[in-house]
Amino acid sequence: MIGRNGQGGVSMRNMLIAGAMLMAGAAAGAAPMQLADAMAYPFTSGLVASPDGKRIAWVREVMGERNIWVATGAASPPQRMTGFSGDDGQELTQLSFAPDGQSLLFVRGGDHDGNWAAAGNLAPNPSASVDEPKVMLWRADAAGARALAECDAPAVSASGTIACIKAGQVWTVKADGSGFARLFFDRGRASDLAWSPDGKRLAFVSRREGHALIGVYAGPAAPITYLPASSGIDGTPVWSPDGTRIAFTRRWDGLDGYGRFLEAKPQPWAIMVADVAAGTAKQAWASGTSLRDSFPDVVGGANLHWAAGDRLVFLSAATNWQQLYAVPAAGGPATRLTGDGFMVEHVSLSPDGSTLYYSANSGADRDNDTRRHVFRVKVSGGPVTAVTAGSGLEWTPAATQDGVALIAASAHDAGVVQWCAPRCATLAGQVAPGNFAGPAMVVPEKVSWQAPDGTTIFGQLFRPAGSGKRPAVVFVHGGPPRQMLLGFSYMRYYANAYALNQYLAARGFVVLSVNYRLGIGYGWDFQHPADGGPRGAGEYQDVISAARWLQGRPDVDASRIGIWGGSYGGLLTAQALARNSDVFKAGVDIHGVHDWSRSMIETLGAGITSYGDTERDRALRTAWKSSPLADVVGWHSPVLLIHGDDDRNVRINQTIAPAAALRQRSVPFEELVIPNEIHDFLRHAGWAKVNAATAEFLERQLKP
């Protein structure tokens, strides 16, 4: 539902007339692109390879319809493994091949980017089905796809035994769906299932009160064996190839959620190796104790792998950049495998354990720090080889028997699967719908400017065709550990944002997407400023400086600058309107955080009472002053507030609060609440509604 409040309210009839005029103008040739056509891109995700590297699988979503595809080799046409239809908002995730590569496990349903506890573990129901959705484990093979059981996070053993998680416990099910039962009892909440190479033992993480440990299940006749534990958090169990040892990560400080509300503190960590039979463990490697030595907070965390030559490989940002390292499993100094000045992200180990494939914002071109390319390096060290290069973007490598598969995108294409052996070939059957407006999209430009404190900030500029002064829009991403690129993003949420920015450019807006500090891609220090977020909102200077930079451009009307963003971008949108309504004349705030102190209390719950009054009160005061609501007295520009009411990341009370404050101050605002939707709107129809409302609002406010 959508409504308007405050001064200058407009009726629903007038809003519909405005929307009709917008579309009529496009149809008459005033705009080169329809919003529906900008959003018609296929989105590819979840790329994985079979254990032997002979097959790959991925999820392809077109207009909200998700299905799984499998391919065998670069020359073999991909086969569709599922027959799901319609925009029902049911995720397809957790793809995992059986050992023989002939069948595939996956999970349908749920919100794997959200906080399950916020909804009592109920699965999202974005389509408002009268039947309660379930998070279901499925199996697909040549005979078709079938649901097996209600569980999540599957792991299949070398002997074909399927384990999965239900309500924090480990269950097992047969390949035909029979025999679904709890495998064993553990008093913690289980995660990170890992079968031994012979398929006879199952390692898992048992999350307890304030700590976590590694357990090993060896059958119904033996008690669970726990690896030597500590007061820290143990995770990511990885078996040695011979099945005698388990490597795992161990970390200690800053794990209760409180650290992000105070000054940054180091979060040191270590890699442990346990002898399973002996029940002993020793430290193979330990980080330093500086801030940069903290546990990695990128995709895959430490990205721990047990590789050839009895080496353990992992990520560390000790040099300010997330880089790959190798250390002997017996312990010793770590060897850095990759260079500096860029960030390693998605990591994949070859089937024989000798080669690492990874994506990074690196390459010879000056703009590659705002792209992704795929590289390879031997686990034993040596030169790094570029698998891809150029003006495209490539990510999510999945190592195969003869090379690597990856997802390749560009400024005009949201991504297709390629098989590189060694030359990259796009697999058949991935043509976008005929109405997709990709070819008409502008190529964004890499730009930079100086923030008030002298920090260089980068962004992508979308310039519309034509001449003269234009209205402008600043886009601020969420996360905040994200980086917007010179093309479509590898995240579904930001592929949508990219499409909307392209549409706004087609409608005549100059659009500037800001990679503000707290984001990734520019080093650990940039990502972790001392005064970031609830510790002072220092990143806001990057946003206001972006608007000032736009005001100085000859093609921008300095009096018509707006802003939009979601999640953390919603927070920064609200911050901009509250602090600088003189600069930002309108904004669209999508599920943003508006009161850091409230978020702090909700995060910690009763645990906040365990801290000293002075420390707690100081943190609460600073968090409040860093919040948009603290400056609501200066908020005069109109805003559109958008939220899904089943949001598990940012609760809807974070939007209810500013609505009440703006209403009390008679500030014009409108709101769009989408029942049953979560943070990353699961249905294409949900995003279409949000994008249409965003574009219409900005056009009405900034192009009178």
Helices (H), 591-683: 596-604, 613-625, 653-664
pLDDT at position 39 is: 98
pLDDT at position 607 is: 53
Other C-beta atoms closer than 10 Å to the C-beta of 2 total 15
Write the burial class of residue 384 (CB in 10 Å: 0-12 exposed, 13-18 middle, 19+ buried): middle
pLDDT at position 30 is: 44
pLDDT at position 700 is: 98
Q: Which of 96-110, 346-360, 596-610, 674-688 has the lowest mean pLDDT?
A: 596-610
Q: In the structure, what pLDDT confidence band is assigned to residue 600 with cuts at 50, 70 and 90?
A: confident
Residue pLDDT, tens place only, 391-416: 999 999 999 999 999 999 999 999 99
Share of the chain above pLDDT 90, in %: 83
pLDDT greater than 90 at residue 172: yes
pLDDT greater than 60 at residue 488: yes
pLDDT at position 284 is: 98
Cα gap 629→631, rounded to integer Å: 5
Contact between 107 and 459 (Cβ < 8 Å) = no
pLDDT at position 605 is: 60
Higher local confidence (pLDDT), 21 or 596: 596
Cα gap 576→571, rounded to integer Å: 9
């999510």: which residue's tokens? 396
Q: Which CATH number is 43-183's, of 2.130.10.10, 2.60.120.10, 2.60.40.1180, 3.40.350.10?
A: 2.130.10.10
pLDDT at position 121 is: 67
Residue pLDDT, tens place only, 234-286: 999 999 999 999 999 999 864 444 455 667 788 899 999 999 999 999 999 99
Cα gap 304→322, rounded to integer Å: 13
The identity of residue 391, as a single letter, is: S
């080799």: which residue's tokens? 73
pLDDT at position 13 is: 32
Q: Which CATH class is domain 442-702?
A: alpha beta
Share of the chain above pLDDT 70, in %: 92
Q: In the structure, what pLDDT confidence band is assigned to residue 299 with cuts at 50, 70 and 90?
A: confident
Across the range 484-503, mean pLDDT stands at 98
Across the range 343-347, mean pLDDT stands at 96
Q: In the structure, what pLDDT confidence band is assigned to residue 26 with cuts at 50, 70 and 90?
A: very low
Structural domain boundaries in the chain? 43-183, 442-702
Strand partners, 270: 250, 286
What DSSP line would sit under 205-221, residue for residue? EEE-SS-EEEEEE--TT
Q: Does an H or E element contain 273, and which?
A: strand 269-275
pLDDT greater than 80 at residue 4: no
Three-class secondary structure of residue 545 per DSSP: helix
Helices (H), 626-668: 653-664
Residue pLDDT, tens place only, 522-543: 999 999 999 999 999 999 999 9
Compute the mean pLDDT over every residue in the chain, rounded to the nearest whole number. Answer: 91
């000798």: which residue's tokens? 354
